[in-house]
Amino acid sequence: MTAPAIELKGISKAFGPVQANKDISISVQPGTIHGIIGENGAGKSTLMSILYGFYKADRGEIWINGNKTEIPDSQAAIAAGIGMVFQHFKLVENFTVLENVILGAEDGGLLRPSLAKARKALKALAAEYELNVDPDARIDEIGVGMQQRVEILKALYRQADILILDEPTGVLTPSEADQLFRILDRLRSEGKTILLITHKMREIMEYTDTVSVMRRGQMTATVKTKDSSPEELAELMVGRKVLLRVDKVPAQPGAPILEIEGLRVVDDAGVERVKGIDLTVRAGEILGIAGVAGNGQSELMEVLGGMTVGTGSVRLHGNPLPLSGLGADGRSRRAAHIGHVPEDRQSEGLIMDFHAWENVAFGYHRSPEYQKGLLMDNAAVRADTEAKMAKFDVRPPDPWLAAKNFSGGNQQKIVVAREIERNPDLLLIGQPTRGVDIGAIEFIHKQIVALRDQGKAILLVSVELEEILSLSDRVAVMFDGQIMGERPADQTDEKALGLMMAGVAGEAA
């Protein structure tokens, strides 16, 4: 038997008080695709970054091809034949593909010969692995799928035998993802070893030979994929049976609350992100918007939340909502009884350095009940915070703690409490459970359903299909700034939605 391509022994890593990896051991056979699956924050990326020398492990050993190897930096990882494609690409945007490929792997001090050599090598690689990329295109002029190819080419140009891919399909359409897996298959057949990090069950089941499951910084199991089942892996991943469907009674949709017609959003770079969509959300229903990240959902939420400008017609209770100019801001939206849980709580929903109580006032800081004459009534805000913390079981229930010092789930509870407790007529909620632990997910889902049952309208955006399917009453799919189709949630499934997410328009159901 050949030595494992990679063997990790007892790897541990802590970031301050957070133990990201605890005593992890794993062995990966050469010429296989080895999946690593786990929830957000399970420590997958940290482990791979250690293997790539991006972080240094506190303890543990790395063995490559049967040799104990020190990997203090990425240089050493590259020398050991390891290449990595990060979730967020590490490319220089105003460089060409060629320049990005040779960066750090140049031949000698002058650029010209290095570029010429790389151009030849790239041609050969393109032929061998079907990795066609224009070597003279600038990175900021090509799409994400292409950028990912450049990352793979970078690794291959450095003669990597082991390729790590961190959540490679997060930004890809299903068809782009299929292409990627064809390339990976080709690489495997050439004897390369591939480590695939993902939280998507489908990818694990379809493409991997072996799978390791991580939970809360620990490796809970490594099994042959064909000997396992999604249910078994899911249980290993979360530690108990997953609640696939949220308990809820059928919706009782009432009058339309939000009516969108021909809505368009153009971003700062002049690219049209939302291309004339029509949607209606009724009282007492949850409309879920599915789609691969980056297909206009964020911009849709932003324009409805008053964070960006758009054109078209949006009516709330039949009254037009300004999409630009006066009244097109978050404050006016709140005044119109629109609650908004933004997609990114760390950079938008919360001010991480503010105390919890300041964050409870955040966005509502000009509300009359928080004012006392010219000044703010901080005592009133703090009392309100304590009440909300108790009701939403925020831990620790300390109004004076800075937002950054709460866990992800508790941070999200603060945001959700602030927006839901105002009793909005319409709730915009984006990625409600991203980076949130299972317990908090259930709690937040229940709150959303409870708000619906009070007869409020809810517009939900999530890239987690499972969340969309279990929470929504109706599902609309966005692709390339357009609505590809709408389905009642109980009359569709992941496969049908997946097709629409890839841009295949759905026929009437």
Please give the residues from 137 up to 156 whose contact with other proteins meets the rule CB under 8 A.
154
The residue among 209 and 329 lying less far from other proteins, judged by its C-beta, is 329
* Residue with smaller CB distance to other proteins, 87 or 423: 87
Q: Are 187 and 194 in contact (CB under 8 A)?
A: yes
Contact between 364 and 418 (Cβ < 8 Å)? yes
Task: Fill in the amino acid letter for 187.
Answer: L
Residue among 88 and 495 whose Cβ is closer to other proteins: 88
Smallest distance, other proteins to C-beta of residue 415, A: 10
Question: Which of 121, 221, 293, 376 touches other proteins (CB under 8 A)?
Answer: 376
Contact call for residues 302 and 509 (beta carbons, < 8 A):
no
Min separation Cβ 348 and other proteins, Å: 4
From candidates 54, 65, 336, 438, binder to other proteins by CB under 8 A:
54
Nearer to other proteins, 104 or 230 (CB): 104
Q: Which is nearer to other proteins, 126 or 328 (CB)?
A: 328
In the structure encoding, which two tokens stand for residue 228, read together? Answer: 């396992």
- Contact track, other proteins, 314-353, x by CB under 8 A: ---------------xxxxxx-----x-x-x--xxxxxxx
| Distance between CA atoms of residues 392 and 385, nearest Å | 10
By the rule CB under 8 A, 270 interacts with other proteins: no
> What is the footprint of other proteins within residues 217-246 (CB under 8 A)?
none
Given candidates 75, 252, 423, 491, which one binds other proteins under the rule CB under 8 A?
75
**CA pair distance 59, 419, nearest whole angstrom:** 43
321-345 as b/e: b if 16+ CB within 10 A: bebeeeebebeebbebbbbbbbbeb
Quote the least distance from Cβ 103 to other proteins, whole Å. 5
Q: Which is nearer to other proteins, 349 or 485 (CB)?
A: 349
Nearer to other proteins, 428 or 463 (CB): 428
CB half-sphere exposure, 391, CA atoms < 13 A: 13
What is the spatial distance between Cα 122 and Cα 125, in angstroms, rounded to a whole number?
5
Please identify, using beta-carbon distances, which residue of 253 and 342 lies nearer to other proteins: 342
Angle at 290 between CA 284 and CA 291, to 5 degrees: 160
CB of 104 to other proteins, least distance (A): 3
Q: How far is CA 157 from CA 78, 82, 149, 323, in A?
A: 11, 11, 12, 48
Whole-angstrom Cα distance, residue 303 to residue 454?
Answer: 25
Round to whole Å and give the CA distance between 396 and 407.
Answer: 10
Cα–Cα distance, 103 to 270 (Å, whole number): 30
Residues, the chain, total?
509
Q: What pairs with residue 222 in β-bridges?
A: 212
Residues 381-420 that bind other proteins (CB under 8 A): 402, 405
Pick the closest to residue 479 from 506, 508, 500, 465 (CA basis). Answer: 500
Residue 374 as a binder of other proteins (CB under 8 A): the answer is yes
Q: Nearest approach, Cβ of 122 to other proteins (angstroms)?
A: 16
Strand partners, 289: 461, 476
Q: What angle do CA 78, 55, 77 make, to 5 degrees?
A: 10
Residue in 7, 26, 47, 55 binding other proteins, rule: CB under 8 A:
55
What's the closest the beta carbon of residue 245 comes to other proteins, in angstroms?
31
By beta-carbon proximity to other proteins, the closer residue of 4 and 342 is: 342
465 binds other proteins (CB under 8 A): no
| The token pair that represents 306 in the structure block | 């008053």
307 is an interface residue for other proteins by CB under 8 A: yes
Site track for other proteins across 10-39, x = CB under 8 A:
-----xxx----------------------
Closest to other proteins by CB, 156 or 290: 156
Region 348-367 residues binding other proteins, contact defined as CB under 8 A:
348-354, 358, 361-363, 365-366
Going by C-alpha positions, the residue among 235, 240, 168 that lies closest to residue 208 is 168
Q: Which two tokens stand for residue 251?
A: 């919706």
Q: Residues 181 to 220: which contact other proteins by CB under 8 A?
A: none
Which tokens go with 142? 């090509």
> Which of residues 179, 311, 378, 482 is near other proteins by CB under 8 A?
378
Minimum distance between the CB of residue 236 and other proteins, rounded to whole angstroms? Answer: 25
Q: How far is the CB of 451 from other proteins (least distance, A)?
A: 20
DSSP state of 251: P
Q: Nearest distance from residue 382's CB to other proteins, in Å? A: 13
| Shortest spacing between CB 87 and other proteins, in angstroms | 10
What is the footprint of other proteins within residues 467-506 (CB under 8 A)?
A: none
Nearest to 281 by CA among 304, 298, 311: 304
Q: According to CB under 8 A, which residues from 83 to 142 bind other proteins?
A: 84, 86, 88, 90-95, 99-100, 102-106, 108-112, 114
Angle at 283 between CA 361 and CA 276, to 5 degrees: 85
Provide, rounded to whole angstroms, the least separation between the CB of residue 78 and other proteins.
Answer: 5
Q: What is the rounded distance in angstroms from the CA atom of residue 393 to the CA atom of residue 389?
A: 6
Residue from 4, 21, 50, 52 in contact with other proteins (CB under 8 A): 52
Q: Which CB atom, from 236 or from 360, has the smaller least distance to other proteins?
A: 360
Tokens of 265: 């959003």
